[in-house]
């Protein structure tokens, strides 16, 4: 086996030094009643060539672009990834390193993460960002736990227009804490209105997504001002599509105390939902309550600029049960990819790409409207939106699958009241031709 370098002679010599008769003898301290009764029942080892073939068959059974035209977003977006990012991430000095516990020989990772933190604060308009969390959903759960820690209050509110899976993750994380979760219903225009929240008092935090699950851009400014009528309550803004902030006002400038969400759009393949990137930023005064790793700037003995993991006293290995989170490994390489992507686009490119996403989505939205379909939520959107199709569209949706078109996501699975409502996403990867074909096939 090419990953096991030992020759028989070497094994014999090493066994002798270790004082063992054979390899089994090394395990003589393990009691009989803990041992397997039989050998591992796994497939015969594949050669590299067999593995290539086997995986080609499995991956060949997948419906992916460009063969399929997939108008699905809902928290995972198809964006072009520049080849430079793939090539640079493949530098194995980056990807075969561990968490940078030894800073003198980890400066590459550390500066890359420091730059990621910096670009993230600039994107979201906040003061400090961490080195990443697992994904957008667990990031939102951590944000609400953080609000609970800061305020000492035991109740949070989440908008019903937040991604349903994110709300589910929040429920899971909060279940053992005994904290109450209030859900804020969405309005007929697809947006959130705090006047629909029965009681604003005693809330640790209120979470709103923008653009929300329906693609609608929320009135964060207004919501923020209402939330801050109670100065203790934290305003948490979450997102699934960070590209939107290439053009939209950022959460920090609209009053967010914490902004957190999914960064997959920034140079990370969709990979069936993971690995993604939990982006997380907050106002400076909450820095010491933040979960996750932080990279900070410092100097070495010669006075040269360098970086280290810092504020570790918040963390599990020092504070144990009093830690701000239990997170250890995060999504370091994905954060590096996101920093590369933000840098590859730059301010100019990010803005142009965001405009292109918006304009293409508007094109499809208008074409659908002209074709007689309803756009139920009369609110500006970014690169996804909801369409109401005639009753029985389910059959058409199925028929389109056979034509290699995935015409959005059936929202009734998550919102039973939204029968025949579909969420469609359009990014820079959808051409006008693809969109025209979609309209044509829907009408056929």
> For other proteins, which is the closer residue by CB, 197 or 341?
341
For the CB of residue 56, give the shortest distance to other proteins in the complex, in Å: 7
For the CB of residue 283, give the shortest distance to other proteins in the complex, in Å: 12
Assess contact for 400 and 444: CB atoms under 8 A.
no
For the CB of residue 122, give the shortest distance to other proteins in the complex, in Å: 4
For the CB of residue 374, give the shortest distance to other proteins in the complex, in Å: 19
C-alpha 430, offset from chain centre:
22
What single-letter DSSP state applies at residue 389? P
> For other proteins, which is the closer residue by CB, 197 or 265?
265
Exposed (0-12), middle (13-18) or buried (19+): which is 399, by Cβ within 10 Å?
A: middle
> For other proteins, which is the closer residue by CB, 51 or 371?
51
How open is the CA angle 438-421-160, to the nearest 5 degrees? Answer: 130
Terminal alpha carbon distance of the chain: 57
For the CB of residue 230, give the shortest distance to other proteins in the complex, in Å: 26
For the CB of residue 199, give the shortest distance to other proteins in the complex, in Å: 25
Tokens of 302: 């010669």
Beta bridge partners of 385: 424
> For other proteins, which is the closer residue by CB, 271 or 443?
271
> For other proteins, which is the closer residue by CB, 289 or 310?
310
> For other proteins, which is the closer residue by CB, 33 or 199?
33
> For other proteins, which is the closer residue by CB, 126 or 234?
126
For the CB of residue 207, give the shortest distance to other proteins in the complex, in Å: 14
How open is the CA angle 191-196-197, to the nearest 5 degrees? Answer: 115
Give CA–CA dist 214/161, Å, rounded. Answer: 7
Query: Who contacts 183 (Cβ-Cβ below 8 Å, separation ≥6)?
Result: 157, 158, 159, 160, 167
Q: Which one, of 433, 400, 132, 381, lies nearest residue 266 by Cα?
A: 132
Give CA–CA dist 149/291, Å, rounded. Answer: 11
């Amino acid at each position: 086996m090419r990953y096991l370098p030992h020759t028989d002679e070497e094994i014999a010599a090493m066994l002798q030094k270790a004082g063992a008769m054979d390899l089994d003898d090394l395990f003589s301290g393990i009691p009989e009643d803990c041992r397997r009764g039989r050998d591992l029942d796994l497939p015969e080892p594949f050669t590299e060539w067999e593995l290539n073939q086997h995986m080609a068959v499995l991956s060949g059974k997948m419906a992916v672009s460009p063969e399929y035209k997939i108008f699905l977003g809902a928290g995972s977006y198809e964006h072009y990834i520049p080849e430079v990012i793939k090539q640079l991430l493949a530098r194995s000095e980056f990807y075969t390193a561990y968490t940078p516990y030894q800073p003198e020989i980890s400066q590459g990772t550390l500066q890359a993460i420091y730059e990621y933190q910096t670009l993230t604060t600039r994107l979201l308009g906040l003061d400090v960002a961490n080195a990443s969390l697992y994904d957008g959903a667990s990031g939102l759960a951590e944000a609400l736990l953080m609000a609970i820690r800061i305020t000492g209050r035991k109740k949070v509110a989440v908008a019903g227009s937040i991604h349903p899976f994110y709300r589910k993750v929040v429920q899971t994380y909060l279940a053992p804490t005994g904290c109450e979760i209030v859900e804020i219903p969405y309005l007929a225009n697809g947006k959130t209105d705090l006047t629909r929240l029965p009681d604003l008092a005693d809330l640790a935090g209120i979470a709103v997504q923008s653009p929300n699950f329906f693609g609608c851009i929320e009135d964060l400014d207004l919501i923020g001002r209402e939330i801050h009528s109670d100065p203790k309550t934290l305003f948490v803004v979450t997102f699934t599509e960070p590209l939107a902030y290439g053009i939209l006002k950022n959460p920090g400038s609209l009053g967010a105390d914490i902004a957190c969400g999914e960064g997959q759009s920034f140079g990370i393949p969709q990979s069936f939902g993971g690995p993604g990137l939990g982006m997380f930023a907050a106002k400076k005064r909450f820095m010491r309550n933040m979960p996750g790793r932080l990279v900070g700037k410092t100097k070495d003995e010669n006075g040269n600029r360098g970086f280290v993991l810092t504020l570790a006293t918040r963390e599990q290995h020092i504070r144990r049960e009093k830690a701000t989170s239990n997170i250890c490994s995060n999504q370091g390489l994905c954060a590096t990819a996101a920093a590369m992507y933000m840098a590859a686009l730059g301010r100019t490119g990010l803005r142009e790409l965001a405009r292109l996403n918006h304009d293409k989505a508007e094109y499809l939205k208008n074409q659908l409207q002209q074709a007689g379909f309803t756009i139920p939520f009369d609110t500006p959107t970014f690169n996804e939106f909801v369409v109401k199709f005639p009753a029985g569209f389910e059959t058409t949706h199925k028929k389109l699958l056979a034509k290699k078109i995935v015409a959005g996501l059936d929202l009734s699975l998550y919102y039973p009241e939204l029968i025949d409502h579909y969420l469609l996403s359009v990014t820079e990867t959808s051409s006008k031709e693809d969109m025209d074909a979609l309209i044509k096939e829907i009408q056929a």
